[in-house]
Amino acid sequence: MTRPRVLVVGSFSCDTMVRVEHLPREGETSRARTLARLPGGKGNNQAVAMARLGARVSMVGAVGDDDEGRMILAALQEEDVDVRHVRVTDGSTGIALVMVDDAADNTIIIHGGANDTVTCEQVDEALAEARATGVRYDAVVLQHELDLDVVAHTISRAVEVSDLLVLNAAPAARVAQETLALVDVLVVNEHEARVVAGEDDPKGSPWDPVTAVARLRERVGGLAVITLGSAGGVLAGEQESTWSVPPGVEAVDTTGAGDAFVGALVDGLIRGMAAGDAAQRAAAAAALAVQAHGAQSALPRADALDC
């Protein structure tokens, strides 16, 4: 089969990762066991995830004119990701401060940096080039680490160059109904599902993911997916289904699990897999990712996922 083409409009960051025995409590100082600086950002990670599974991936975004930006661009070129529409700005590259403990739990703080400079006009330039050259993308993939107005604008215009618009609404933020209606695949975790749906989250309140995913399905143009970490997840499209995490998985770092899942899910869908099968395969990709340290460095390749 011809390699599918994917456009990712998304973020870049330099992940500053530290490992600690436990995540510090309020007022507590913890000593880091290790420190590493690695390429990251949800857009970047998902682009690499799909490239490693065989897709031809192009990115729209921005990095700073600094060592971090040069590191990220070099890593993308090694992964054969097209970076012609990635702008280099005078400011700093986005930064993510990632802390991971011995239980594989993490906390992440992001600073947008150059990501905050991505504009609707920059997206329009990339889409105009696709139209002018007759390029039709098998999928356009977005997240919430860019300005949300840019995300909404991209979704409204990307229908001109693709029949599959994928939104990973992370970090959590409300999404206008007119935008959701254009989304073909919405991927969220439990917290993000509540925010997108506009639901309150009082402590101890009962929450049924099957009911929640069905409600989201009524608002999106196609498939709604809720990931539930080690509990698997649920999806609703033409039919509702669930998936589980492969047995025997011992997580050491969950940082890139969501991006591995999204990348593999999109890859499976554009290759014609049924939604439930694509989600189960995506769960396997996430399970592989959590068994290695780092986000992007842990993303699996096709030979490991489909062996």
Calculated CA dihedral for residues 102, 188, 168, 281, nearest 10 degrees: 70
Cβ contacts of 219 within 8 Å, gap of 6 or more: 177, 180, 181, 197
Task: Quote the CA–CA distance of 232 and 243 in Å, as a whole number.
Answer: 5
Residue type, 306: D
**Residues 146, 58: Cα–Cα separation, whole Å:** 17
Task: State which H helix or E strand residue 167 sits in.
Answer: strand 165-168
Q: Phi then psi for 19, rounded to 5 degrees?
A: -105, 135
Q: What is the DSSP letter of 285?
A: H
Catalytic site positions: 259
168 pairs with which residues across the strands? 143, 187
